[in-house]
Structure 1
Amino acid sequence: MLLLLFVSVILFDISYAQVYGFGRCAKVKTQETFDLSRYLGNWYEIYKFKANFEGNAKCISANYQLKSNGHIRVYNSGIENGKIRDAIGDAYIPDQTYPARLGVKFSSWAPYGRYWILDTDYTTHTLIYSCTDILGIFHFTYAWILGRERTMDQAVVDRLFNKAASFGIDTSNFLKQDQTGCTTS
């Protein structure tokens, strides 16, 4: 009975926190060639799957900078209730055979989560997918479309939605992000 209660609490927490589903994660293919140096710099969140750790922030951006140890400093920020809300994380490429499959974490005690780049041209867009299977019974998923500008051409958005859908990712979970009234940070 205690185990059932524990699992129920976990499922409730996960369902509130992000997109989840039964079964395994979608089988995706990350971008085969990936140049980290071209990926570094500022990106703006255009679409995302629900992620409660972002709260109700708007003007969300990410900045990626190479650290001396080969890892990547991740600085995410947004504006919530008129105040800057930010988080600093660490990312790296765990297997050079798959350079577009990064691991990322925002706490020293947390394990690295998936940050898999499905598509990027480095200058206008990137499509990111993250999914974790729980015992093969259910999974929880995050996905983002980021741009180098605060707006993105609808044709690019449509192409990225189609690419995500081709892997079995439910694009109806994407939420448009508010990038209006933002400073140039």
Structure 2
Amino acid sequence: MARKCQHLTLKLVSVLLCLGYTSAQVFGGGGCPNVKAQSTFDLNRYLGDWYEVYKFYAAFESGQSCAKAHYELKSDGHIKIVNSGFKDGKAINATGDAFIPDPQNNPAKLKLRFSSLAPYGNYWVLDTDYDNYTFIYSCSGVLGITHYEFAWILTRQPNITEDVKTKLFNEAKAFGIDTTNFKLQDRSGCPNNQ
């Protein structure tokens, strides 16, 4: 009995620590929504510049405006991702590394990290037409009790058409993703190339 209580106490402490760590993210009860990444993926067409239009709140992006991402193929087959934007009027950027672990069976399920000290996280492309938009999603479960998730809608131009927004929000809803968590990226006062 004492051993069972210790196990439950340890599990509860772990959950509370995880909730504290992820409280600055979007999280919900139960497991992750049952999403499906795009079945085909052409990395070469995906490379280049993307503008962040909608996103779920993430502490590491808090207060950032004019967010933009640049994807470039590296000689080792990985993808260099440079995220840039502005915070408190100052230019900021972060460089990440991504790769496709299983290009044959899951070509749109990438792994991504922005620090060599961090583990790779999920970066799933749920839908892209390569020329106009991409819908990216990531979710991690915590002990089967809760989950935290990230989502982004990026476009090749700094804005999005209402038709594309409606299409992607409807796809999100069909997967069980709560679209009320999407926040519009602040693009007011952005430089022309940002």
**TM-score normalised by the chain length of structure 1:** 0.95
Which whole-Å CA distance do the structure 2 matches of 1:74 and 1:118 have between them? 18
- Residue equivalent to 1:41: 48
CA shift, 1:152, in A, is 0.6
Q: Deviations over 1:132-183 (max 9, x none)?
A: 0112111100000000010010110011000011000000100001112212
Q: Specify the SS of the correspondent of 2:16.
A: helix
- Residue equivalent to 2:18: 10
CA shift, 1:6, in A, is 5.3
Equivalent residue in structure 2 for 1:22, among 23, 29, 42: 29
- Residue equivalent to 1:69: 76
Q: Deviations over 1:110-143 (max 9, x none)?
A: 1110000000000110000000011211110000
CA shift, 1:21, in A, is 0.8
> Which ranges in structure 1 are unaligned for 5 or more consecutive residues?
none
| 1:103 partnered with 2:106 | no
1:165-184 equivalences in 2 (<5 Å): 165-183=173-191, 184=193
Which of the pair has more CA radius of gyration? 2
- Residue equivalent to 2:3: none
CA shift, 1:9, in A, is 3.6
CA shift, 1:5, in A, is 4.8
1:28-177 equivalences in 2 (<5 Å): 28-96=35-103, 97-177=105-185
Which whole-Å CA distance do the structure 2 matches of 1:9 and 1:102 have between them? 27
Q: How many residues align?
A: 184
Instruction: Quote the RMSD (CA, aligned, Å).
Output: 1.4
Deviates more, 1:64-73 or 1:3-12: 3-12
> Which ranges in structure 2 are unaligned for 5 or more consecutive residues?
1-5
Which whole-Å CA distance do the structure 1 matches of 2:13 and 2:111 have between them? 31
Which whole-Å CA distance do the structure 1 matches of 2:31 and 2:62 have between them? 26
